[in-house]
Chains A and B, each alone.
Chain A
């Protein structure tokens, strides 16, 4: 029986992978992201330079060469090495901030939709506050107060980006809680927590998932922005930090394209891959959007 079960599971995974493969957008997004993840994991091991290999005066701001594939920065460090360890920080930041945002958004959304009335009102006004407040100044203030460590950046992005998720989850919860199986579960004596976790959550999960992928893109952009503005973790090389130093050292005006272009392109590509995947997941999981 268990083999039948695992076979079923395999079949479903295959179906999911199949519809992913048929969907060109999702395929492109997945490939780009996979490359970046692999680079983030193995890149710094493969590249022979560390981000702390400061060069001598003659090594500074050197254009790409066979030794330094992407040239060097204003402190004589290898740009490629920085770029790869930047991928680690940016992706880590994106994933963790997204998880925080997803958890907060889901809890507030489900609680708000499920309990309704006063709780809904209070939670939704709270959500509206986060939704309308200009997030960049808020992030900057929070980052400045909390100090510039990567964990603070993750935390700040996490707690400022959940409002959209909460709204969407609440809307779906409102619809799910009126379904008859919830009434049935109440009648057998299940508590609110039980119903929310066992019945409502699995039914809103596809939505959360699709939404989450899009938030990951926002999180990575936010990290880059904060770092570029000098509110990032100065001890770690992230893409935002690289752009920050490139800007400060006047790389753009001195024509050192190898310094500012790669991190910029990386940010764009990663954000694009998340966006592509997000829309594609939405399409796969929401049959109404499926092309026939």
Chain B
């Protein structure tokens, strides 16, 4: 288990690695990556888990020119070149799912398997209604209800975090706003590119996910040739954290299959 810094397009990108075997690129969501997250163990036992912190997240730098998820997708294709990995299994959660979908549409030949967990990135519903609720226009306690199956248990308690940890979360939040503000949580071009995806694709959704509705994930999955969908019980927007065992049980067989 180690964290190193890789320079990509002039940006210092923090990259966590653990385990051995087939490489798996893990792209975190808006909250950032933490080695203590409960999915790290089951996945690093079976894979060489590679988890970068996106620019502007964790301790990764953020250049003034970068402001879109597809900027990061291009950066991670460069990361694969740098690591000498021709094809990789790719798991992306939420915002990371958006980046993963961009990668798979830009370079379909590089992706062996694709797992999108409550991914943002497309607009499938009507123009006068947000597909994904505006979480910045809601009080935090309402956001927690959208995010978690069990908000009581899962909501962040700032008093238990150090200033450094809290500063990272606040910066993650700011970078999420930078990347997703307009158009809200999607790239209008992406849905016209997803037909290029070649990898077997699994969409995963927590049954209580209040951000990515079942209809949204269904509409998204229809854009990716042959994609299938799994639902995780008793989980919200981050099933990999709220139900790590059930999540691993759904995703690992798909990757192995």
Q: Does A associate with B in a complex?
A: no
